[in-house]
Amino acid sequence: MSAISATTSTALEAGWSWNVPLQSRCGTGYVFSSAFQSDDEAIAEFRAHLGAAGQGADPRVIPMKIGRARHGWIKNCLGVGLSAGFIEPLESTSI
């Protein structure tokens, strides 16, 4: 377990990786653009980035449709701040 108690992010070839220290483990992932790297290349790069900890890892590739909300205000529902710009998938929080 890392002694750092803050989320860190690292630039990789086609995106960025994050590391979030938790009480019992470290949550980590890699967001990449499939326009610049295949899924298999991204998995290999992510495992290499993780080093020894990544050798037994079995990362899941979660396709995302990138975009933004067309309307920031609909009836009594208003998107404010970041929620007006994009919708982050629940998968990022493992819900």
Is 1 inside any structural domain? Answer: no
Relative to beta strand 73-74, strand 26-32 is unpaired
Is 2 inside any structural domain? Answer: no
Number of domains composing the chain: 1
Is 55 inside any structural domain? Answer: yes
Which residue from 82, 94, 93, 30 is spatially nearest to 61, judged by alpha carbons? 30
Is 3 inside any structural domain? Answer: no
Instruction: Encode pLDDT of 31-83 as tens digits.
Output: 999 999 999 999 999 999 999 988 888 889 988 877 777 888 889 988 877 76
Taking the CA atoms of 49, 53, 56 and 60 in sequence, report the sign of the dihedral they define: negative
Please tell me the pTM assigned to this model: 0.68
Q: Which domain holds residue 36?
A: 8-93
User: What's 6's DSSP letter?
Assistant: S
Is 66 inside any structural domain? Answer: yes
What count of residues does the chain have?
A: 95
Is 51 inside any structural domain? Answer: yes
